[in-house]
A and B are shown apart, each in its own frame.
Chain A
Amino acid sequence: MNGTETAGTEAGSEPANPSGTLPPQRRVRVLLYGDVDLNIIDGSAVWLTSMARTWSLAGAQVDVQLKAVEDRTLLSGELRNMPGVTVWPAHPPQGRRALEPVPAADALQKLDGQDPYDVVMVRGIRICRQIARRGAFAGRLWSYVTEFGYPQDASDADADADAGAGAGAERWQQLGEIAAASRLMLAQTEQARAVLEAMVPAAAGQTVVLSPMVPDAIGPSTTRVAAVTPAASAGPVASTAPPAAPGTGEPVRLVYTGKFARRWRTDQMPEIVEGLRAGGVAAELTMVGDKVQHDPEHPDWAEHMRAVMDAPRPDVAWLGALDRTAALDAAAGADITLGWRDEELDLSLELSTKVLESCALGVPPLVNRTAAHEELLGVDYPLFVDGAADGPRQIARTIAAVRDQLPQLSARVLAVAEPFRMTARAETLKTWLARIGLPGPAQSRRSRPVRVVVAGHDLKFAGELVDLLTDHPDVDLRLDHWSSLHHHDEAASRDLVDWADVVMCEWAGPNAVWYARHKKAGQRLVVRLHMFELRGRWLSELASDAVDRFVTVSEHYRDLVVEHLGLAAERVSVIPNAVSLADLDRPGLPGRQHRLGLVGIVPLRKRLDRAVDLLRELHRTDPRYTLHLRGRMPWEYPHEWRKPVQREAYMDLFARLGADPVRHAVAFEPFGADMAGWLRKIGWVLSPSTVESFHLAPAEGMASGALPVLWDRPGARDIFGDEFVVQDTAAAARLILETDADDDARAARQRTARERVAGFDERTVTAAWQQVLLSGL
Chain B
Amino acid sequence: MSVYSRARRALPARVKTPLRRALKGTLRTVDEYLPDSLSRRVRRAVGRSTPARAPRGAAPAGDPLGLAPGRGPAASLATVATGRAAAVTGRDPESAHRLNRALLGGRAPRPAGGGRRIAVLAAADLVAGLESAGHEVHPLLPGTARATIDLSEVAVIDLAGVAGTWAGALDAEGVALYLELQDALSHARSQGVSVWLVDRGPDRFRLGAVALRRDGGVLTIRPGAVPPQHHITEDPGDAPTGVVDLLRDLDPLQPPSGHEPAAPQPVAQPAPRTASDALTNGSQEARR
Contact = CB atoms under 8 A, between A and B. Distances in A.
Interface in B95-119: 95, 98-99, 102-105
Contact of B176 (A644, A654, A672): A672
A443 interface: no
A350 interface: yes
Interface in A306-350: 341, 343-350
A695 interface: no
Which applies to chain B's interface (DSSP): helix, strand, loop or mixed?
loop
A171 B175 CA distance: 16
Interface in B239-273: 257-263, 265-266, 268, 271-273
Contacts of B85: 201-202, 204-205, 460, 463, 673
A678 interface: yes
A35 interface: yes
Interface in B69-90: 69, 72-73, 76-77, 79-90
Interface stretch (B8-16, B206-214, B229-237): B206-214
Interface string A467-486: 00000000000010100000
Nearest to B166: A667
Interface string B42-70: 00000000000000000000110001110
Nearest to A627: B165
Given A458-B86, A635-B98, A664-B139, A154 B72 contact: no
Interface in A397-420: 397
A464 B276 contact: no
A153 to B, nearest CB: 5
Interface stretch (A386-394, A429-437, A734-742): A386-394
A310 B217 CA distance: 40
B133 interface: no
B275 A669 contact: no
B179 A154 contact: yes
Contact of B173 (A344, A629, A657, A677): A677
Contact of A204 (B63, B83, B208): B83
Contacts of A176: 77
Contact of B284 (A45, A638, A654): A45
B175 A35 contact: no
B271 A343 contact: no
Interface in A610-666: 624, 626, 628-629, 632-633, 635-638, 641, 644, 647, 650-651, 654-655, 657-658, 663-666
B139 to A, nearest CB: 6
B22 interface: no
B81 A180 contact: yes
A3 interface: no
B238 interface: no
Contacts of A352: 280-281
B91 interface: yes
Nearest to B175: A198
Interface in B141-177: 141-144, 163-168, 171-177
A654 B91 contact: no
Given A268-B263, A665-B164, A681 B173 contact: yes
Given A180-B79, A190-B172, A297-B271, A673 B63 contact: no
A183 interface: no
B210 A44 contact: no
Interface stretch (A160-168, A220-228, A714-722): A160-168
| Most chain A CB inside 10 Å of its own CB: which residue of B172, B177, B258, B274 | B172
Contact of B283 (A44, A481, A672): A44
Contact of B87 (A624, A626, A673): A673
Nearest to A37: B284
Contacts of A265: 262
A380 to B, nearest CB: 12
Given A637-B72, A673-B88, A681 B105 contact: no
A462 interface: yes
Nearest to A668: B143
B215 interface: yes
B183 A154 contact: yes
A628 B165 contact: yes
Contacts of B131: none
A646 B269 CA distance: 53
A42 B280 contact: no
Interface residues of A, number: 130
Interface string A147-167: 111111111111110000011
A139 interface: no
B205 interface: yes
A217 interface: no
Nearest to B278: A149
A391 to B, nearest CB: 4
Contacts of A460: 81-87
Given A154-B182, A463-B84, A637-B72, A202 B77 contact: yes
Interface string A130-160: 0000000000000000111111111111111
Nearest to A271: B263
Nearest to B186: A154
A83 interface: no
Interface string A331-374: 00000000001011111111011100000000000001111001
Nearest to A480: B80
A99 interface: no
Contact of A669 (B76, B177, B207, B280): B177
A390 B88 contact: no
Given A479-B80, A670-B91, A670-B176, A168 B275 contact: yes
A166 B275 CA distance: 10
Contacts of A678: 173
B205 A198 contact: no
Contacts of B276: 147
A354 B281 CA distance: 8
A681 B171 CA distance: 11
Contacts of B95: 633, 670
Contacts of B211: 150, 152-153, 347
A371 B273 contact: no
Contacts of B80: 459, 479, 481
A201 B173 contact: no
Contacts of B63: 635, 641, 647
A267 B92 CA distance: 47
Interface string A416-456: 00000000000000000000000000000000000000000
Contacts of A160: 76, 90-91
A670 B284 CA distance: 36
Contact of A191 (B172, B258, B275, B281): B172
A665 B87 CA distance: 26
Nearest to B183: A154
B75 to A, nearest CB: 10
A259 interface: yes
B128 interface: no
B214 A668 contact: no
B279 interface: yes
B141 A389 contact: no
Q: Give 8 nearest A-B pairs by CB, closest first.
A: A463-B83, A668-B143, A658-B103, A667-B165, A191-B172, A194-B172, A389-B258, A149-B278
17 contacts: A42-B282, A149-B278, A151-B179, A153-B215, A155-B186, A160-B76, A204-B83, A343-B214, A346-B207, A371-B205, A386-B205, A459-B82, A462-B83, A641-B63, A650-B102, A658-B104, A677-B173
Interface of A: 35-37, 40, 42-45, 47, 124-125, 146-160, 166-168, 171, 176, 180, 190-195, 198-199, 201-202, 204-205, 212, 258-259, 262, 265, 267-268, 271, 296-298, 341, 343-350, 352-354, 368-371, 374, 386-394, 397, 458-460, 462-464, 466, 479, 481, 589, 591, 595, 624, 626, 628-629, 632-633, 635-638, 641, 644, 647, 650-651, 654-655, 657-658, 663-675, 677-678, 680-681
Given A42-B282, A674-B176, 12 more contacts: A125-B285, A148-B275, A150-B207, A191-B171, A199-B175, A201-B88, A343-B210, A374-B205, A394-B260, A641-B63, A664-B164, A681-B174
